[in-house]
Amino acid sequence: MCGIVGLHLRDPEWYPRLGRLLAAMLGQVAERGPDSAGVAVYGDRRRCPEGYAAVSVLNAPPGLADAVSGIGRYSDQYHSQVLITEAGATTVVAAPMTPAELVDAVRAAAPEALVVGSGSELTVYKGIGVPGRLAGVYDLVNAQGWQGLGHTRMATESAITPAGCHPFSVGPDQCLVHNGSFANHATIRRELIAEGAVFDSENDSEVGARFVASRLAAGEDLDKALRGLCERFDGFYTLLVTSADGFAVVRDAIACKPAIIAETDAWVAMASEFRALAELPGIDSARIYEPEPERVYAWRR
């Protein structure tokens, strides 16, 4: 079942409206996934200021800001510059470091915390419960930025926990949301583990996210990485995958999981149902279509 929504803004004048539009879209797919809701926002400078990186974590201990700013060589340069935002089960840590440095600092300061997103553009929020309530917890309506996605989950492959929620963000500024199930995820999980991947959940969607991340790390673009996924993964799926400069949609060969795309000069939007797109300004003049099976649809910032 599950619900997917995504919005990629082409016109900077729309950036202040991203969160409000995305929240409205998410509300229209709440019935598809009442177990949990996750959101990723690109370019929200309230929580990831310019020149900062952000890391989203679950199970954050009290005093995380002081712990991060006091780690080793970071202590003098970054003392009192760490920004903490609590949003339900998710805590967003931002600091004027590179994403890799901040991930290392968070893991050193709080080994028990689980990193669920990182980047210089990206903030990720994950939690269990009713999607409408979680959108309020995340303060989604006030988010600004140039791209965002959301997911409402009806769990089938793994437990209902914040770690098992979508989106899965396992590479810098990368996210994947998924409606469907991968039939051969266990086999591909073993292959990725043999290559050095470490998994955070039993969710089959995380396997897809780590497969794509490995391809992007090897230098492929979103289009090529997703074509590779179609070749290797069996099952039923609609995927929305985002990166620091990209937004891409793909469906399996049978295309039994719903998806619809709408485009205008100002934005590109994708959702599991048309009603999630129906209230977008300019929808009356948008180009609206259903993505073809195993064809990758990709846009760049």
C-alpha to C-alpha distance for 179 and 186, rounded to whole angstroms: 18
- Tell me the pLDDT tens digit for each residue of 119-162: 999 999 999 989 999 999 999 999 999 999 999 987 766 678 88
**CA distances for 197 relative to 171, 173, 189, 206, 209, angstroms:** 11, 18, 9, 11, 11
Instruction: Confirm whether 2 is a catalytic residue.
Output: yes
For residues 13 and 264, is the Cβ–Cβ distance under 8 A? no
The sign of the dihedral angle between the CA atoms of 43, 48, 51, 57 is negative
Nearest to 13 by CA among 167, 146, 149: 146
Q: Which mean pLDDT values do the consecutive 10-residue runs of the chain (301 residues) have?
A: 95 98 96 90 97 95 77 54 92 93 91 96 95 94 98 78 91 96 96 95 93 96 96 96 96 94 98 97 98 97 91
Q: Would residue 189 be called left, alpha or beta, if left means φ above 0 and alpha means ψ between -120 and 50 degrees?
A: alpha
Helix (H, G, I), strand (E, B) or coil at 60: coil
Helix (H, G, I), strand (E, B) or coil at 76: helix
- Tell me the pLDDT tens digit for each residue of 30-58: 989 888 899 999 999 999 999 999 999 99
Given 2, 48, 165, 175, which residue is catalytic? 2
